[in-house]
């Protein structure tokens, strides 16, 4: 039963990640209908997304710490209640400021309640195929642009009312997330004991948190995560605009983003399998190097086929590397403070995600093209590679330590 139920945990985590991320990013679908209906500025409505990233970073750390202390089920249950409530409330607000606070802050804090706690719980259930399991949970988030966003567009068209569409998505979030939250449970104590006996002692296990956050293991992990997200967030956010700038038709330009999302699903599974076989660090470093190279290659793209080719590589790579940071966090610091450590690293990654779109917009305003966005992002990507090369050696098992040199 234990061996089978762990895949229920994976499925629940993937579902919750899909709904949480999908509802947050559906703001892009609501942007034009809200602006036309209310007269609010596009910049004012879009600023709610910037707030989402900032609040998600802080929330990820808070919820990760809470899951270490109280368990993941309590955390994701609270997140499920808050997420549906935030969307229902946002559908009724009458001022831009209220919308920014409710959607930007409350949706952000609710959506952040799922990633770090469910990743930590999933890894506690697995002693083998851990990288693959984490990648499958993360793949749920990759499904968001292909599920929640089209559903939001269909509701807006069907009701011709963005408020009703957002209200129904909030109710739908409750319907899906609340039952899924009750499926979340900790692994049996016997399995945890066997896992602790079989895996190598993490170097950071038992450290005070203050020392953990100053340790080379955490600093390299967190700043690699930050640089990785800062490198790809700008190109992701501005990809459709850049393709149109290069002469690609608007509808075709949108499909490039869809291709990236689909490739990200395959990349998560592929990188998870490779990490289980070859080790997490070499796969992560190789992925970061490919990411930097393909970002720079976008400056040479000129037709749709070239954009599609690069989108497959880019989407597969950035999607594939993201779950690997969680695996490294557990390997370095052990399961007891996994939620706290990974939540803190996620906080820095969210700041990186928020930085990229702003930097890309500034680059276009300053130079009237996107060339410097992609060049700058590629350089940040190379910085992520350089930081990752400084990862300290992973702890070795007792059997490995007994092997002759």
Show me where the domains of the chain are located.
Answer: 1-186, 208-389
DSSP, res 238: H
Q: Alpha-carbon distance 321 to 314, whole Å?
A: 11
Q: Which two tokens stand for residue 208?
A: 């005070």
**Contact (CB, 8 A) for 132 and 273:** yes
Tens-digit pLDDT profile for residues 256-273:
877 887 888 788 888 888
- Assess whether the region 1-186 and the region 208-389 belong to the same CATH fold: yes
Output Rg (C-alpha) for the chain, integer angstroms.
21
In angstroms, rounded to a whole number, what is the distance separating the alpha carbons of residues 233 and 357? Answer: 6
**Domain 208-389's class?**
mainly alpha
Among 129-133, 166-170, 294-298, name the one with the lowest average pLDDT: 129-133
Q: Which of 166-170, 277-281, 373-377 has the lowest mean pLDDT?
A: 277-281
Q: Residue 401: is its pLDDT beyond 50?
A: no
Q: CA 8 to CA 306: how far, in whole Å?
A: 39
Q: Which CATH architecture has domain 1-186?
A: Up-down Bundle (1.20)
**Cβ atoms < 10 Å from Cβ of 266:** 16
Calpha distance 178→63 (Å, rounded): 17
Q: What is the mean pLDDT of residues 315-324?
A: 87
Please enumerate in sequence order all residues whose Cβ is within 8 A of that of 80, keeping only pairs 6 or more positions apart, or say none. Answer: 16, 110, 113, 173, 174, 177, 178, 180, 181
Only one residue has tokens 């002692």, namely 201
pTM above 0.75, yes or no: no
CB under 8 Å to 248, separation ≥6 — which residues? 256, 303, 304, 307
How do residues 220-245 score in pLDDT, each as one tens digit? 989 999 999 999 988 887 777 788 78
């Amino acid at each position: 039963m234990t061996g089978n139920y762990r895949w229920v945990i994976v499925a629940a985590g993937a579902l919750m990640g899909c709904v949480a991320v999908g509802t947050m990013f559906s703001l892009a679908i609501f942007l034009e209908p809200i602006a036309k209906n209310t007269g609010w500025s596009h910049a004012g409505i879009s600023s709610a997304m910037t707030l989402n990233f900032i609040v998600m970073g802080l929330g990820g750390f808070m919820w990760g710490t809470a899951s270490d202390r109280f368990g993941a089920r309590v955390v994701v249950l609270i997140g499920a209640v808050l997420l549906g409530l935030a969307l229902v409330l946002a559908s009724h607000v009458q001022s831009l400021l209220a919308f920014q606070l409710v959607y930007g802050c409350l949706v952000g804090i609710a959506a952040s309640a799922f990633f770090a706690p469910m990743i930590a719980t999933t890894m506690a259930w697995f002693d083998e195929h851990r990288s693959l399991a984490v990648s499958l949970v993360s793949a749920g988030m990759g499904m968001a642009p292909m599920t929640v966003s089209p559903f939001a567009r269909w509701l807006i068209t069907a009701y011709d009312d963005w408020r009703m569409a957002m209200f129904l998505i909030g109710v739908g979030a409750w319907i899906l997330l609340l039952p899924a939250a009750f499926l979340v449970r900790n692994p049996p104590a016997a399995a945890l004991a066997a896992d602790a006996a079989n895996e190598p002692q993490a170097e950071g296990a038992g450290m005070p948190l203050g020392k953990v956050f100053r340790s080379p293991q955490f600093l390299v992990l967190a700043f690699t995560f930050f640089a990785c997200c800062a490198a790809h967030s700008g190109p992701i956010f501005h990809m459709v605009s850049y393709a149109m700038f290069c002469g690609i038709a608007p509808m075709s330009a949108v499909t490039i983003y869809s291709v990236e999302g689909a490739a990200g699903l395959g990349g998560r599974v592929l990188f998870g399998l490779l990490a289980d076989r070859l080790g997490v660090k070499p796969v992560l470093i190789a992925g970061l190097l490919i990411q930097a190279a393909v970002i720079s290659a976008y400056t040479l793209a000129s037709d749709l086929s070239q954009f599609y080719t690069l989108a497959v590589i880019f989407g597969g790579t950035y999607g594939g590397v993201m779950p690997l940071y969680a695996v490294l966090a557990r390997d370095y610091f052990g399961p007891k403070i996994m939620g706290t450590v990974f939540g803190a690293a996620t906080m820095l990654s969210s700041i990186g995600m928020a930085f990229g779109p702003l930097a890309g917009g500034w680059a276009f305003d300053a130079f009237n093209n996107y060339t410097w966005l992609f060049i700058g992002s590629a350089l940040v990507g190379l910085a992520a590679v350089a930081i990752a090369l400084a990862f300290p050696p992973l702890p070795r098992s007792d059997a490995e330590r007994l092997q002759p040199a």
